Structure 1
Amino acid sequence: MSDVLLPALAPGADLDGSVTVAGESVTFRDLGSWSRRCAANLRAAGVRRLAVLAEPTLETVVAVVGSLAAGVPVVPVPKDAGAHELAYMIGDSGVDAWVGPERSEAGGLLVLAPRDLLGTESDDDLPEPGGDEIAMILYTSGTTGAPKGVLLSRSAIAAGIDALAEAWGWTAADTLAHGLPLFHVHGLVVGCLGPLRVGSSLVHTGRPSPQAYADAAATMYFGVPTIWHRIAEDEESARRLGGARVLISGSAPLPVPVFERMRELTGQEMVERYGMTETLLTVANRIDRPRLPGHVGWPVAGVETRLRDEHGAVVPRDGQSVGRLEVRGPTLFSGYLGMPEETAKAYTPDGWFHTGDVATIDADGNHRIVGRESVDLIKSGGYRIGAGEIEAFLLGFPGVREVAVVGAPDEDLGQRIVAFVVPDEGRRPDPEELSQAVADELSVHKRPRDVVFVDSLPRNEMGKVQKKKLLG
């Protein structure tokens, strides 16, 4: 594909596409002109790094693509960022300008409103920055300490999008629809920049309701499992997605019952994929291969994966053995901002990135993500147990609406398996039956020792269950 990062916005691009965010639309032609005007103003103001409050608006898109056109690294800030988080991100990233409502935490920065970014006419053909230059600084969730600024280069973003376009048959003839946040890899890098690189139209629904997804009438849809669960419960909206070319789920495991229900209502086997901020999307199901529920597919073009145990030994690719997932390829980040030691620790001596996730790979190369090593790999009574396998089984048990399995400290076993269950309304399953079913169908050592009923599971904005909160 083109060396230009976003060819749909390049001068003279002959693409009949548009971007719509929460009902407000702009053509590629006009968005390209706006991005160049924005870039000219950023350069005139001497902006070196730009923070953008990433609300789901067209103004956010303009600020991001204008920064990319100017070669100015952009720091997307969650729209609900609190005072402490915002102050940390501004101070750590070294931004010198801010796009968004005035905040005391952004004091001392040049505050720009959308009208400031578009104030000067400019259709200059700006030189394309080099591929190794940093395009974005995305912050991790900070689950293991202070959030880290992940440096993503233009070439990594381009490689990631191109590989997904190949895997999913994604072309300029498509229309992508989603309602994801615009400060993550899923919603911003792939869900927003992806269409502007591939040339497909984009419809961001604003609020990701089932009806909004159905009304988008797109050929491709992105969503997190929470969104797909809600759509699966809205039969009318789900059936209206049956005409789409592909339905894609990510950011957390898709429950098997949701996969099966969506297949029943739409006739489609949903596509799951895997990635993280540091690697972009590295493993994905393909449009030209059957999809297995609970599996995320194969490495995308240019990416390699491997499994190792805690001693560095090779883990068999038998679809059962659990190992640490390590990856390498052109989509990987350029390092953590200002943290050379943390960057070095993230890699093996032979250059593979530690994802921190555990997985299985079958003989055909199909990957199944067990979860985070820190919370989803349970070591109980000498066994290494993947929480995801137990969760997938329990989700098929009558009366179980949601479930999260964790390992709680245990003096005898090391860790004991605990299942936190959200029951269906008026249909609470028997805890002993749940535990015994796991023992009978999976293995005795995988049975939950405790079943705890809860009203809901703690989740972040991307729908991932925050298991550490369950453990207190």
Structure 2
Amino acid sequence: MSPLFPALTGEARAERPALRFGDRSLTYAELAAVTGALAARIRDAGRVAVWATPTLETAVGVVAALLAGVPAVPLNPKSGESELGHILKDSAPALVLTAPDTELPVALGELERVDIDVRERPAPRPAADEPSPTAPALIVYTSGTTGPPKGAVIPRRAVATTLDALADAWQWTADDVLVHALPLFHVHGLILGILGPLRRGGSVRHLGRFDTAAVARELSAGATMLFGVPTMYHRIAETLPTDPELARALGRARLLVSGSAALPVHDHERIAAATGRRVIERYGMTETLMNTSVRADGEPRAGTVGLPLPGVELRLVEDDGAPLTGYDGESVGEIQVRGPNLFTEYLNRPDATAAAFTPDGWFRTGDMAVRDPDGYVRIVGRKATDLIKSGGYKIGAGEIENALLEHPGVREAAVTGEPDPDLGERVVAWIVSTDPQFPPLASELAAHVATHLSPHKRPRIVHYLAALPRNDMGKIMKRALKTDE
């Protein structure tokens, strides 16, 4: 396999910007020097933790670990004491890489601390031999919604093939400048948002925290791509009517990409109407990296995540595991995938690893979808929380949420199912009203959904909330949606 970052070893891009965080930046030559020195220092560490703040040091630490052939474990700085303790015990890193002057939690006190000096300019050092494609690159911990977080071991092969497949789908080149404000302890922000530009030989400008004014500034100053999650694009859609400069800046972008959760169709349409640019969506997860995407030269169909990426096999299966034999845009099945983009195992969890795969090697994603006749995939939700079996129908929560968001009185929406003695499960809507003083009536919302979709998909119960519970990536935490009964 070729090096993960060929631009770090060549002269062609030496003085071109590689990373910029706020007013701090590194050229490719500077990045090669500082990561090369750090890689030499940690080469025999075995496994390293990275305190993954949205800083230049985090990016340098991860790249250095990859150059050294040492698996990196990104740590969420917002992790609670119990979760952090579990991750450290499970992954057993030899040391922790961090920015100078960072105050680390007590749980990290037993580890050797290595402060990263991004100003260091040592003499060039010989590069290490490129590790095997199957060697671990990163150990990324899942969110732990059904128990303690599991460490997904992501091989170098998966990083390279995913980024190259996205380069094909998005026509991503060294001339692209990416702007984003995503966390650096997840696949989206770290692998796509930092390692992606570096593999292409392009540039990344990280905002530190999301701000629509900063997005407008960077896209007006040469950035060509924006990566975000639906909550970010929702804020953009809300701001556009009163911010013509933001609309002009987004209109200049070559590519607007949303991921990590479904972007509501309503926000798609508002952004397209104001900017003339369509947001494209892709679909992936920690264990698989990226599986599908709308192509840059394809049809940006709102509500879909496009086609399988090169090298990725994807199928939909029934409850009994039988593959769906035809795609009609209506039949719901669980997504299963296989290909070089997959993780190799859950660290120290052979039982969980075995359970995650079918006997013939397909990974069970737990995501439910329908597929159009032309192959486009539309996610309808998680099998555990978003598939509602009501009155003999399989109903995906996602399409009801999109319908609810089309109602002018609905600002945010989530849909779940709850037991019903007659239907098996009934559809329950959780609503954040546009005007809390005058929320839409439950009967009005039910009629709205029945008109847009089908009567059996209408919500039978509506709860009104001030806000929906979300995690760091903006995903709605449906397990936290409970009645007081």
Q: TM-score, normalised by structure 2?
A: 0.94
Identify the residue that residue 363 of structure 2 maps to in structure 1.
353
Does the CA-based 8 Å contact 1:171-1:198 persist in structure 2? yes
Identify the residue that residue 35 of structure 2 maps to in structure 1.
35
- Alignment-mate amino acid for residue 73 of structure 2: V
Matched, 1:226 2:231: yes
Partner residue of 2:455 out of 444, 448, 451: 444
The whole-number CA distance in structure 1 between the counterparts of 2:199 and 2:294 is 21
Matched, 1:428 2:439: yes
Identify the residue that residue 139 of structure 1 maps to in structure 2.
141
Does the CA-based 8 Å contact 1:317-1:361 persist in structure 2? yes
Deviation of the 1:441 alpha carbon: 3.1
The whole-number CA distance in structure 1 between the counterparts of 2:364 and 2:136 is 22
Does the CA-based 8 Å contact 1:6-1:196 persist in structure 2? yes
Any unmatched runs of 5+ in structure 1?
none
Deviation of the 1:162 alpha carbon: 0.2
Identify the residue that residue 132 of structure 2 maps to in structure 1.
130
The whole-number CA distance in structure 1 between the counterparts of 2:216 and 2:341 is 32
Deviates more, 1:304-313 or 1:358-367: 304-313
- The residue matched to 1:251 in structure 2 has which SS? coil
Does the CA-based 8 Å contact 1:53-1:76 persist in structure 2? yes
1:224-257 Cα shifts (integer Å, max 9, x gaps): 0100111122222233211010100000100111
Deviation of the 1:423 alpha carbon: 0.6
1:314-354 Cα shifts (integer Å, max 9, x gaps): 32310111001101111000111011121111111111110
Deviation of the 1:13 alpha carbon: 5.0
Matched, 1:257 2:255: no
Deviation of the 1:112 alpha carbon: 1.3
The whole-number CA distance in structure 1 between the counterparts of 2:440 and 2:468 is 17
- The residue matched to 1:354 in structure 2 has which SS? strand
Partner residue of 1:52 out of 50, 53, 59: 50
- The residue matched to 1:374 in structure 2 has which SS? coil
Does the CA-based 8 Å contact 1:38-1:117 persist in structure 2? no
Deviation of the 1:116 alpha carbon: 10
The whole-number CA distance in structure 2 between the counterparts of 1:121 and 1:96 is 26
Deviation of the 1:11 alpha carbon: 4.9
Identify the residue that residue 201 of structure 1 maps to in structure 2.
203
Q: Map residues 382-461 of structure 1 onto 2, 5 A cutoff.
A: 382-425=392-435, 426-461=437-472
Does the CA-based 8 Å contact 2:34-2:121 persist in structure 1? no
Matched, 1:290 2:263: no
Identify the residue that residue 381 of structure 1 maps to in structure 2.
391
Matched, 1:328 2:348: no
Identify the residue that residue 245 of structure 1 maps to in structure 2.
254
The whole-number CA distance in structure 1 between the counterparts of 2:213 and 2:171 is 26
- The residue matched to 1:415 in structure 2 has which SS? strand
Does the CA-based 8 Å contact 2:34-2:118 persist in structure 1? no
Identify the residue that residue 468 of structure 1 maps to in structure 2.
479
Partner residue of 2:283 out of 274, 277, 280: 274
Instruction: Label 1:188 to 1:110 Cα distance change in 2 as closer, same or farther (>3 A).
Output: same
- Alignment-mate amino acid for residue 5 of structure 1: L
Q: Map residues 296-335 of structure 1 onto 2, 5 A cutoff.
A: 296-315=305-324, 316-335=326-345
1:89-139 Cα shifts (integer Å, max 9, x gaps): 111001110123333201321111114995965522222222111010000
Deviation of the 1:410 alpha carbon: 2.4
Q: TM-score, normalised by structure 1?
A: 0.96
Does the CA-based 8 Å contact 1:38-1:118 persist in structure 2? no
1:160-200 Cα shifts (integer Å, max 9, x gaps): 00000100000001101100000111000111000010111
Number of aligned positions between the proteins: 469
Does the CA-based 8 Å contact 2:67-2:127 persist in structure 1? no
Matched, 1:109 2:108: no
Does the CA-based 8 Å contact 1:41-1:117 persist in structure 2? no
Identify the residue that residue 182 of structure 1 maps to in structure 2.
184
The whole-number CA distance in structure 2 between the counterparts of 1:349 and 1:125 is 40
Instruction: Label 1:118 to 1:81 Cα distance change in 2 as closer, same or farther (>3 A).
Output: farther
Q: Map residues 135-174 of structure 1 onto 2, 5 A cutoff.
A: 135-174=137-176
- The residue matched to 2:281 in structure 1 has which SS? strand
Any unmatched runs of 5+ in structure 2?
none
Identity of aligned residues (%): 49
Deviates more, 1:263-272 or 1:405-414: 405-414
- The residue matched to 2:62 in structure 1 has which SS? helix
The whole-number CA distance in structure 1 between the counterparts of 2:334 and 2:211 is 36
Poorly superposed stretches of 4+, deviation over 4 Å:
116-122
Identify the residue that residue 10 of structure 1 maps to in structure 2.
9
- The residue matched to 1:166 in structure 2 has which SS? helix
Identify the residue that residue 80 of structure 1 maps to in structure 2.
78
- Alignment-mate amino acid for residue 73 of structure 1: P
